[in-house]
Each structure stands twice: as structure tokens, then as C-alpha cells.
Structure 1
């Protein structure tokens, strides 16, 4: 009887071991997949301009409020002369080789008209500022040259200046007023296009900030 009992114990123990062996181990729990957070690059100003650029406001007449607004015919001619002068000094390379010669020819061909234009502008400053007119006139001239010298637009401005200069040297004195009005608009075209592009950049940047926050380093 004891032998039978012992046998039963062995059989039971063997069955427990077999049952344990047949049980499937639980599958390991996979770690959650973490998707990397990607932040698109913040918009940048057009033409590599500074983020601190100040864009002239649009006036009620649809024109930008720049130094080239509200000019008489002689002032317009003088501002065109200044633009061509900046182009002759700063536009370099084979595409712009003719600018210096064109500018000198324009000055020579229209010396009398340009002297009248300069005298009219100085007279205007004398009337408006009295004894301090020279300082204000110098400040105005600096602003005018700085306007045409805006470095991010050097290439498109030079491209326009070449087209204007080719007409400048064949324009007769009697047609200078018409030429100057058209030339000023042409020289300003790259600037007006830049102003629109910069305002679009500002809108895009504001939308970017709403979604992603302030750009790093700002």
C-alpha cells in the first residue's frame, strides 16, 4: 500500500511539472513608439534682408510713403539722377559696365536742366528751414542715397538702372520731365516688390509664431 501511495505522489508531481511546462509565458509589452517632434524652420526675410527692416506704409493714394513721394518735376529728375549715380558707383560686373559711361553722358547732355533741378531743391529747403536749410538739405540727400543703396536689392536695382540708363542718354531735354517720371517708377519697382514680399514674410512669421512660438535666438 505504501508503494502505491508513493507512486501516486510521483505521478502527481510529474503532472504538476508537465502542466507548468505547458503554460505559455506572457508576451513582453512593447514600449510606446515616441515620434520625434519636428518644427519647421521659421520664415526668413526676402532677399536676405534684416528682420529689423522697416517697410514704408501704404498711403491713401496707394503709394508707399518713401522719400520719392510728393515731388515736382525738377525734384523727380534730381531723384532719378541720384539713383543713376548710386548705380554707377555700386553696380559692378560685365552686365553693368555701361552704367558709368551712361551716367556721365546723361549728366553732360542735361547739365543745365540738372543745375535748375538742384537749385530748385535748395531753394525749397531755404524757404522751409531758413538758416538751417543746409543741414536739412544734406540730411535729405543722405536719405535719398541710402534709399537707392539698399544692399539686399542691389542686383534687381542694378538691372533696372541699366534699362533706365540706356534711355537716359538718348532722351532730349524737352522730354526730360516725362522720362524722369517714368524712370523714377521703374527704379522704384524692385523696392515696391520687396515691400510686398516683406509684408508677406511678416504675415507668415506671425502664423509660424502662433503655432510654434518665438523662433530661437529672437
Structure 2
């Protein structure tokens, strides 16, 4: 079985002056070894779904399981540990710590999980080298280009060798040429034991995924013919 994440009747609603249903009883299974693109207009629920998949947010109703283990959304400590060890998150806005170098931004994420500074630095240097940025590891985010910042963000997401990579508009703030370069890096992270899901407004990037999905009326519609 290659099923890695299973959603059952996942719904999410928000109440302000009136109740807003963002996700509506989503049933879907994501398989390891594949890359999924998630499209849909602003407000369609892409980011909300990614936040639930990353265990940052909880559904109003429904269940989520990872590797056939049901997630208890009230177990904050357990979910924090699970997220640190199994899930790498890449944001449109990079969220790098401005007062820390590229190397520190990457290795701190590993240090938080393992507690082993020297090993975390060694791993961070290796990942940054794969990103082609060894010469920039002592630079601060303000000294990096947009593409470099996003590659460092990807390196940070990879430090704990996650099974799941979630990216929310990872190239949305970049020019087209730089976006293509960053997306190529993201696509090359695919392997048989990893699941990658990314949200995008760009059809060119969406079409490069193994499975193209679209958020419509709070649910997921599969665009690729023959894909479950």
C-alpha cells in the first residue's frame, strides 16, 4: 500500500458574522511517490487544506490519518513532534528568521528535533550545497535574492528528511525564470517514499505534477483522467 495521507469527511468552517464553510466533507487519499498540485481561486480553501494536512490547523469535523494512524488534533505536543519529524513546509513568504544566517535558519530546524548541534550543522551544510548555495550560507535573508531565499526555505524543510512536503504557493512571489528554477528544485525532491503537495495559481507548474487537483465548492476535483 502506498497510501500515506487519508482524509475522511474533512470539513472546515469559520464563524464571523455568519458561518462560512471552506472545506466540505473531503474524502481523498494521497499516495507516497507522487507529486500533487492543488489549484483553485483565492478563497477556495487551498491554504486551509494545507494547514490541516500540516497539523497546524484542525478540521471542524472529519478525520485524517498518516501511515494508517489516525491523528488526534487535540494532541498538540504529539502533532508538533510529528510535524517536525515527518512534514516539511514551504511557504510563499519564506518565514526565514531575519537575524540568523542561511545556515542557522536551516540547521536550527534540525537542532530543534535532534538536539545534536554538530550533526545538524553538518546536515544543513550538505543540503545547502545541494541547493547550490554553499557560498551563501553565512549570508542573512536580506542579503539573498528571492530565488536564493526560497531555496534556503526548501533546505530548511528538508533538514529532517520528511516523508511529506507541503508547499503553499512556493513560487508565487518570484519572477517566471526564478520560479522555474525553484520549481525544478522542488520537483527533484520526488522519491518513492515521499509525498509532495503544492498549491499554485500557475497552470504551467500545476501541469507538471503527477496528479492535478482543483478546489471547487470546498471539495477536491481530480483533473487528471484515470487518477483516483
TM-score (structure 2 length as normaliser): 0.25
> Which is greater in Rg?
1
TM-score (structure 1 length as normaliser): 0.26
Q: Point out the structure with the larger helix share.
A: 1
Q: Point out the structure with the larger strand share.
A: 2
